[in-house]
Amino acid sequence: IAMSSSFVTIGQALRRTFRWDYGWHEAAALGTALGVPLLIYTLGAREFVNVIAIVGATCGSIEIILLVWTYLKIVYEKNRHK
């Protein structure tokens, strides 16, 4: 239960990041957040724990990249308006 609730929480956070911070359409944000685990499952990872581990590493990496990208965008906009 703890792993699946963490999976849902990270998926929702990633979807909201795509939607709110980057202005993606709701369907694209949801499709991307749900598409990675579905793709991994269809490629052969059939054990729930393995899928969660791979998706956690993938989504965690994407989330960090997006956070850095957001920070750099804010700094750029702030410096541009000075």
Report how far apart, in Å, the C-alpha atoms of 46 and of each of 26, 35, 78 are.
Answer: 28, 15, 46
Instruction: Name residues of the chain where pLDDT drops below 50.
Output: none
Residue 43 φ/ψ, nearest 5 degrees: -80, -5
Max distance between CA atoms of the chain, in angstroms, equals 53
Reported pTM = 0.53
Alpha-helical (H) ranges within the chain are 2-16, 26-42, 48-80
pLDDT in tens, 55-76: 778 878 888 998 899 899 889 8
Q: What pLDDT score was predicted for residue 52?
A: 75
Rounded CA-CA distance 77/9 in Å is 30
Q: What pLDDT score was predicted for residue 3?
A: 66
Q: What pLDDT score was predicted for residue 59?
A: 78
Taking phi first (over 0 means left), then psi (-120 to 50 degrees means alpha), and beta for anything else, what does residue 25 get? Answer: beta
Q: What pLDDT score was predicted for residue 82?
A: 66
